[in-house]
Chains A and B, each alone.
Chain A
Amino acid sequence: MSTQRDPRETFAHTAVDLLDEDRSVALVYAEISGQYFGQAERRHPDRVVNVGIREQLLVSVGAGLALTGLRPVVHTFTSFLVERPFEQVKLGFGHQDVGGVLVSVGGSYDLASAGRTHQGPGDVALLDTLPGFTIWTPGHADEVEQAVRSAVAGSGRHYVRVVAQQNSRAYDVQPGRFTVVRRGRAGAVVAVGPMLDPVLEATADRDVTVLYAGAVRPFDAATLRAVLDAGVTTDVVLVEPYLAGTSSRLVADALRDRPHRLLALGVGREELRHYGTASEHAAAHGLDAAGLRRSLDAFLGRRAA
């Protein structure tokens, strides 16, 4: 693990490389992560903009840049990128129908000791109320680089959710395509982003399929159906590193013609009102391997193998 790159630094370095490589790329940020962008700002003063602590403006400036044909990367902490300026995201990008790449850091509880104000477990659920967002949930620094590069090179609206927790290996992540990490017959577990390693540990002795979602929108209903078709049960477990149940409706839609059972795991709706570390918060939400095992035992029976 010590040789792994840091996901947030990887985002920043990738964004800086893209600014150097492509004159149509612009970066807008709001103080956060400024420690990485100083040199790029001096090299590209017209295309790197720190708006200060002004997050409504952050998103609207990104939209304005897009209206002139530039490809904006818009960045701050999760709660200040998606929640505080949500209407700017809805109208500036969605209603104007322009593209851009929103990149958040902090996720649900990277800033555990900072408390609720700096935690954004509802981000994917909120963006789900808008049409057309591709949502990347990289679980490894290498996937962060791939996500940011792909999103910037592409068109349309993208959200890249960069979090500190990483899996031990990276996958080739493509939106709309889940990776089959392990095949089994007694149901399927969909592990989103950094939830893969704890899911693999918690399911090591179970005969379940494990799907990996390094990008969660579009939701890969076809692969989910295919792996269930090959098994003997239609039990589905979602393990998401943000608000529990965010993707439940998509599982229900994917399996609307098939009787099935669903367990949706993720960050709880209630505030913890605890500080501490991200791993303590993961455990408190039952998203470490031990917590996942308890939930799987209750749902699938103590041992499906």
Chain B
Amino acid sequence: MTTTHMPPTPTEAGGPTYGYDDLPALMSLMTGDEKHDSAATSTLDVLWVLYDGVLDVTPATVDDPGRDRFLLSKGHGPMAYYAVLAAKGFIPVEWLPRWGTFDSPLGHHPDHVLVPGVEISSGSLGHGFPIAVGTAIGLRAQGLDSRTVVLVGDAELDEGSNHEAVELATALGLKNLTVVVVDNRSATWNRPGLIAGRFEVEGWHTTVVDGRDHSALAAALRDRPGRPSVVVAEVEDKR
């Protein structure tokens, strides 16, 4: 993953196609780094697996009411997110090098008003999951079978607003809602097993997987167990 690949050039058939191996180079367009630390890439594999084979959403369907929703609640460190969105054609690769500058649509926290395919503006922790509960209720109320998948960080779960959401999701039987917790043990008061245990005791379908194992992630994220589901994706320690 530390090997630097240059982004492919456009093909005659249309837009360029990018694979997982191109993501570090796309991220380097933003960071200038040849090598990214584990914090910058903690979400990379989850994001890739979601957009490569789990979510039913494409650049052509970003406004389709029936699309799957992916909400990045943990909005900081969004380089991996932008890289995946660029790789999948939601945003132009040309946007990446100028990220964070005044006229760029790409900030250090994403803004859904500015970026196609970004479902929510995030940055302040503890908002995306509660919003996702509302999104899941709204889709169900309209008879849509779409899923809502929301990504939170393990330390983000410090915010009490998340626990309001954990409780209501099972009370309402939101089987169209999946939470992905990217766990790099960055929470100060983390204890092993605490995250999965909290969800489990509230009635969630709980899976703990290696956050770098694409087939394990895909299997866990594709699963629709008939109740709210949480996938705890464990990656390297932040510190």
Contacts and interface: CB of A to CB of B under 8 A. Distances in A.
A61 B160 CA distance: 15
Most central of A49, A56, A57 by chain B CB within 10 Å: A57
Contacts of A91: 121, 124, 127
Contact of A60 (B119, B130, B141): B130
Contact of B138 (A56, A70, A96): A70
B134 interface: yes
Interface string B167-181: 110011000000000
Interface in A33-72: 46-47, 49, 51-52, 54, 56-57, 60-70, 72
B133 A70 contact: no
B166 to A, nearest CB: 10
Per DSSP, chain B at the interface is helix
B134 A63 contact: yes
A26 B141 contact: yes
A51 B164 contact: yes
A61 B119 contact: no
Interface residues of B, number: 33
Most central of A67, A72, A87, A88 by chain B CB within 10 Å: A67
Interface string A12-49: 00000000000000101000000000000000001101
B142 interface: yes
B67 to A, nearest CB: 10
A88 B135 CA distance: 15
Interface of B: 65, 69, 111-113, 119-121, 124, 126-127, 130-142, 144, 160-161, 164-165, 167-168, 171-172
11 contacts: A51-B164, A56-B161, A62-B134, A63-B131, A63-B134, A67-B69, A67-B119, A67-B138, A68-B139, A87-B127, A96-B112
Interface of A: 26, 28, 46-47, 49, 51-52, 54, 56-57, 60-70, 72, 87-88, 91-92, 95-97
